[in-house]
Structure 1
């Protein structure tokens, strides 16, 4: 698994190990490293393999945690971290798919009530239970073994990890709440094929925010303006259409009436024209 030595979002995208339902991120950070760490549209389980971290989550008081503990942070959290010593960390980023899959099967039996009050500054710091420690160790073994079905095994093990976290009230609040965050709702609306032609103002209205406030919060959360985010989604969809459609048909299908404009945007995003992408048949992103 590739080591990430900073908190760059670009590095995370490039070096994350992604399965169908989550991302795994492995960080190797030098002594005295200090920077702002962020979660985006999913909760993150932050663990330490070696070393320790001095952290402040969403402007909380500073505290130190070690490899005997974990932190579960909500989406859109900001965490200031300092490494008193060289530190290796493994982060689980749980997507909607695994949370929904586990929740639908165990929520009734666990008799978990939805959180009544929740602050975006909420986070959970906990020692490992006997079972979560075993599961965390199992994940490390899977990563080390490099089995050809590694991603399947990670998904399988992390289903139980999510289940164990749901049994902890503080963690369950974070896991359940994340889908109700207005920016997460907006991201799901943008990502739905049924809403391919929706406008930014319509989405702002849908999540109960003014256009200016929505645009500001969306940029703070995702590092993209809503318009930039929509463009990236449309271009990502266009790559799928280019496998079976002409460049012209793909442009129209993804909402671009101006073919030249579509080609310019595609080349800017992917470093090649749509036609070159079709000819190479390679997905660089």
Structure 2
């Protein structure tokens, strides 16, 4: 049980499965603090009390046990508790969201008249959502030997029920909020530079190992492989108009021989042979 907002304590505390981490907060009256979601979406609900939330642009709202708050990754909000407040938070793994979105289709998504901005989604704890919360919480405190398996099943059901609403769907699938998609966008836009994976992971509040693992799970290859393949893909186009040295330097390779080796390993011919093939075909 947590009584302050502290990332180090969050890592140590809570119940974690493959798909979700469950955090339980018992916050005292007049507690105030900055709340972050870091690299995962968070589903926040209140058991008792209420929270006063202030967004980065100074917009304010209050929510209680009748509501849930859905925050995308890398969010930062300020929260004030004027009464003793107990809260339950589900940190939703990106792989969970990805799997549910991959396996389901909603051609006609219901649009409810709920408060929405690109920074958060405030919904109501009713019907299936309320049952999902109860199922996950009860499984987390049970002595059932397969409770982690059950929690992950209930977590999939929660995400499934959330994405029935177009507003919640937009929050969960928003590519600009997903840390891996942020990384892909950064890599694609900076493919001509030397990209430091450790520094990129730090910018996303992730360890290098966790970042690499999550990246491979979603993309299908490690970041270093993605960067290499992306550079070589771009090289194919540049080699049509530039010489090998210019292309290598332009893609951040100071060692020309190394660039040639990577190119040959992937395409089975050297960059120069590739250029000759293009010339001969014309």
Measure, in 2, the Cα distance between the counterparts of 1:102 and 1:64: 30
Match of 2:95 among 85, 94, 97: 97
Is 1:230 aligned to residue 208 of structure 2? yes
1:158 alignment partner in structure 2: 155
Going from structure 1 to structure 2, the CA distance change for 1:8 and 1:52 (only over 3 Å counts) comes to same
Measure, in 2, the Cα distance between the counterparts of 1:53 and 1:71: 10
Unaligned runs of 5+ in 2: 110-115, 214-282
Measure, in 1, the Cα distance between the counterparts of 2:37 and 2:193: 24
Going from structure 1 to structure 2, the CA distance change for 1:167 and 1:30 (only over 3 Å counts) comes to same
- 1:169-180 map, 5 Å: 169-177=166-174, 179-180=175-176
Offset from partner CA, 1:2-24 (integer Å, 9 cap, x none): x0111111111111211011111
2:49 alignment partner in structure 1: 51
Measure, in 2, the Cα distance between the counterparts of 1:44 and 1:159: 14
SS of the residue 1:4 aligns to:
coil
How many residue pairs get aligned? The number is 207
Displacement after TM superposition at 1:77 (Å) = 0.5
Going from structure 1 to structure 2, the CA distance change for 1:182 and 1:127 (only over 3 Å counts) comes to closer
Displacement after TM superposition at 1:122 (Å) = 2.2
What TM-score do the two structures reach when normalised by structure 1? 0.63
Larger Rg: 2
Asked if structure 2 preserves the Cα contact closer than 8 Å seen for 1:186 and 1:207, the reply is no
1:277 alignment partner in structure 2: none
1:184 alignment partner in structure 2: 180
Displacement after TM superposition at 1:36 (Å) = 0.2
Offset from partner CA, 1:153-207 (integer Å, 9 cap, x none): 1111111110111011111001101x444743366x7xxxxxxxxxxxxx95435
- 1:22-101 map, 5 Å: 22-101=20-99
Offset from partner CA, 1:38-75 (integer Å, 9 cap, x none): 01111110111111111123334221110110000111
1:142 alignment partner in structure 2: 139
What TM-score do the two structures reach when normalised by structure 2? 0.63
Unaligned runs of 5+ in 1: 113-118, 190-202, 237-285
